[in-house]
Amino acid sequence: MTSEWQPGLRSKIALAIRVRGMSNDNKFFDEMTETCYISPSGLITRLPNRVELDSEIHVINKATRRGGNFRVVWVNVQGREGWHDVGLELIDMEGDMWGRSLGKARAGEAGTVAEAVLQCQRCQASALTLVPEAAGEFIVDGFTISRPCERCKASTPWAFTPGAAAPQDRSRAAGGGDQRRKGRIPMKMKIMVIRDREGTSLEDICETVNVSANGAYFLTKHRYAQGEWLKVIAPYREGAVAIPVRARVVRLDEPKDSYLHAVAVELNREELRGRTLRGD
């Protein structure tokens, strides 16, 4: 069994799988679902049943009919749209479970390591923590993972703390925090926000309140999730050709006397290189 996942080898791929185990209310389940990511040492999937941290479940790849035993590393205890995101670490495998699909993971590009403010659910201690076991898009409200706690002198459940600080990548500049706050300029500008919903792209045309070198604060009639990954075209001009930039939701506000929601996003620095949000 590996002690740490290898995010650089993780590949986003949907494979039909059969998952069997015990739910958190001690009921046996046998469900069909699909992978979100796979790697040589684990996988990320979605289950209609909530499972306990450190419990074991059995997974079978429907294509190869091979399976393996896995340990629950993290789980979203709140669930989204009736499903719970789950991170699983490989314990043992029955032969070549993934077949050629694992080759795609081995050939994948090196990924970033997610970072988030987590809080011990036993003593309430908080810490900015590297989370190599999960892709950043899954570190949202309800995300819970087992971690050693120095204060408790034991492994305890740690949960993502929305609002305390946004999940970050390892490549984030030293000091962390909301880098979008630096150099904000009040500016009304039309932008297009592209969201991925179960493989379908949804477009949201919004107007900014202010922008910075690598972020934007805008109003929308739609509800967004803390930590959600997006793509942004800024400025947006109908009919113009533009390359979207990856972005992440770092703050959510509810303005008074308005039916609109306020969303702050931080844009990917590498994709922004040589560009500005003002189109200069």
Give per-residue pLDDT as tens, 184-222.
788 888 999 999 876 788 999 999 998 887 889 999 999
Report the distance separating Cα 265 and Cα 171, nearest Å. Answer: 17
Q: How does residue 262 score in pLDDT terms, banded at 50, 70 and 90?
A: very high
Per-residue pLDDT for 16 more than 90? yes
How is residue 261 written in tokens?
């929601």
Under a CB-based contact definition with an 8 Å cutoff, are residues 233 and 194 in contact? yes
Under a CB-based contact definition with an 8 Å cutoff, are residues 205 and 275 in contact? no
The model's pTM is: 0.58
Q: Any bridge partners for residue 61, and if so which?
A: 17, 66
Under a CB-based contact definition with an 8 Å cutoff, are residues 163 and 226 in contact? yes
Residues 265-269 have a mean pLDDT of 85
Most confident range (mean pLDDT) of 10-14, 84-88, 112-116 is 84-88
User: Mean pLDDT in the chain?
Assistant: 81
69 Cβ contact list (under 8 Å, min separation 6): 56, 57, 58, 59, 90, 91, 92, 93
